[in-house]
């Protein structure tokens, strides 16, 4: 969710690109190719919240958490 500096920022997920709107939440599956651009003059500040996919089992979540912590340590 963009908090500041939304002017000039865009978000692309898969084949959809959109101009961002201040205070509007964007929820997407980040396993799809995605990228963001900011061509504005103000500093861009966004709030990011990650959620586990609801179809993941507890075992899969433990495995992904293990990978995540291993990546952080390297």
- Give residue limits of the domains in the chain: 2-73
- The distance from CA 15 to its chain's CA centroid, rounded to whole angstroms, is 16
- Bridge partners for 17 per DSSP: 12
- DSSP 3-state of 2: strand
- Bridge partners for 9 per DSSP: 38
Alpha helices in the chain (DSSP H): 58-73
Q: What is the pLDDT of residues 5-64, one digit of tens each?
A: 999 999 999 999 999 999 899 999 888 999 999 999 999 999 999 889 899 999 999 999
């Amino acid at each position: 969710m963009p908090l500041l500096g939304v002017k000039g920022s865009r978000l692309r997920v898969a084949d959809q690109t959109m101009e961002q709107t201040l205070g509007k939440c964007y929820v997407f599956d980040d396993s799809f190719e995605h990228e963001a651009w900011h061509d504005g003059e103000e500093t861009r500040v966004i709030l990011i919240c990650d959620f586990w996919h609801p179809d993941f089992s507890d075992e899969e979540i433990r495995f992904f958490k293990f990978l995540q912590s291993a990546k952080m340590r390297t």
